[in-house]
Amino acid sequence: MDSPFFSTIIEANHVNKKEDLFTAFRLTEEDEKEMRALARDERIRKRIAKSIAPSIYGHEDIKTILALSLFGGVSKDLNRKLRIRGDINVLLLAVPTLEGGAFILADKGTCLIDELDKMNDSDRTSIHEAMEQHWQSISISKAGIVTTLQARSSCQSYSWTVLPSPSSRTLN
């Protein structure tokens, strides 16, 4: 029986990651000393949080959450049997798109999703798949190719909430 799916095979002698800005980046001894000094600072969490959107007054709790998400947690591998993910996901709701592919592109980084409420259900399901499962991957089935791609990303999502008007509320 013929299958509509084809195996994907890639053979390479050398692979260069395109536009990888961090491959040439190296920390100097001076950088390392400065980071260690900052790590000993008791107020470092507050200083980092205050550096996020400094023109917006207040909201220290939200800024702290965003900073923690950007820095991420530490994943753990317990006896090579159980892996605990270290990524922190954030959902902010405010009063007044994106596809699952962005989560894959943000692998080992942070995926920012604006207007989560306007995202179609299939994309939202793909993103939930990566956020909920400890192996952090997204299953893709396009053009006869079925595969699973890594999506080891933190996620910061933003959405508008719609509150009912005061005239539509009833008191019992």
SS3 of residue 162 by DSSP: coil
Poorest-pLDDT segment among 41-55, 109-123, 128-142, 148-162:
128-142
61-108 tens-digit pLDDT: 888 888 888 887 788 888 888 887 777 777 776 544 555 567 677 777
* Cα-Cα-Cα-Cα dihedral sign, residues 90, 67, 114, 87: negative
What is the per-residue pLDDT for 36? 94
Tokens representing 87? 């990524």
48 versus 98: which is more confidently predicted? 48
- pLDDT above 80 for 1: no
Q: Count of CB atoms within 10 A of residue 130's CB? A: 26
What is the per-residue pLDDT for 38? 92
Amino acid of residue 59: H
Tokens representing 135? 């192996």
Instruction: Provide the residue ranges of all domains of the chain, joining segments of one domain with +.
Output: 28-71, 75-164
Provide the mean pLDDT of the chain.
76
What is the per-residue pLDDT for 15? 74
Q: What is the mean pLDDT of residues 10-39?
A: 81
Give the whole-angstrom CA distance, residue 117 versus residue 113.
10
Rounded to 10°, the helix 44-51/60-71 angle is: 100
* pTM check: above 0.85: no
Tokens representing 54? 């400094």
* Exposure letters 4-23 (e unless 16+ CB within 10 A, then b): eeeeeeeeeeeeeeeeeeee
